[in-house]
Amino acid sequence: MVTDCKLIFLTPPALERSAREQNLPAAHLAYRVGGGPHLFRANLPVAARGGILAMDCEGFDGRGEPSVFCQEVLRECSARGFQGVYCAFPDRPIPVLQRAVAELGEALQRRGWPLYVPESYGAASDHACVLIPTALSGGSLEQRLAEAAEQYGPSRLALRIERLAQDFLLPSPTGEGVPLSRPALAEQLEERGGSVFFSHELCAHYFTYMTKTDGAHFVLFDDAGSIRKKCQLGARMGISHAFVPYAQVDDLLPGLLE
């Protein structure tokens, strides 16, 4: 596994058994912030213990006060042997969840457990670790991490890795590409042969091609090697943890864990 930057796999209930059989460090993505707010749990296997509680807030109406919810999170961590909390919240902050982050940050810090939050929630708690996305379509990942480290300190950062596979029509003023499935990317790679390059600024592979109908395209993608390089870059900057969705990289595990 990548030296000095621990990969933690965001694992939904359907993939728990597979992750457990491979002894992967897991953030159990089986929890959701629901009305109240309260903590709701999916059908998580009894054997899923240890690691990190991971939750999203899809469908949450933003109403309520966080104290009871925070106690539910702490009780679930104690019952399952979790030693940390990962918040898969949207970038636009929700006030009640900002208050929850502040309260959880204090409570988890007393227990010596980390709390991981999106950058938009970073100001809510001085104890929270801020998740920095690594999927860039422009600029420099090293500069992005350096700026975040200057703002928060490297010990308060973690990488949020999303496996890139996007096709951009050039020019691309919005910086948004069309996602490529694994078979579609594999087909394009077979066609492009040796015309694949590595961007040290984006820490990802790329190639270009032309079509008669719409002109120039730029394809940006990750493999095990580029994900390792992102983690190595983070490690050099003092970042010790990186999260990646297990479902996105299950085919890359031999290269990631070597």
pLDDT at 193: 66
Q: Tell me the whole-structure pTM to 2 decimals.
A: 0.93
Per-residue pLDDT of the chain (258 residues; tens, 9 = 90+): 444 789 999 999 999 999 999 999 999 999 999 999 999 999 988 888 899 999 999 999 999 999 999 999 999 999 999 999 999 999 899 999 999 999 999 999 999 999 999 999 999 999 999 999 999 988 999 999 999 999 999 999 999 999 999 999 888 777 788 999 999 999 988 887 668 999 999 999 999 988 888 888 999 999 999 999 999 999 999 999 999 999 999 999 999 987
What is the residue type of 90?
P
Q: In what order do the strands lie in the sheet with 197-199?
A: 178-179, 165-169, 215-221, 204-211, 197-199
Nearest to 143 by CA among 233, 241, 222: 233
Rounded to whole angstroms, the Cα distance separating 156 from 238 reads 10
CB-based contact 51:30 (threshold 8 Å)? no
pLDDT at 2: 43
Q: Rounded to 5 degrees, what angle do the CA atoms 32, 33, 39 make?
A: 80
**CA separation (Å) from 224 to 44, 54, 183, 205, 228?**
28, 24, 17, 11, 6
As beta bridge partners, residue 165 has 221
What is the residue type of 81?
G
Rounded to whole angstroms, the Cα distance separating 187 from 192 reads 9
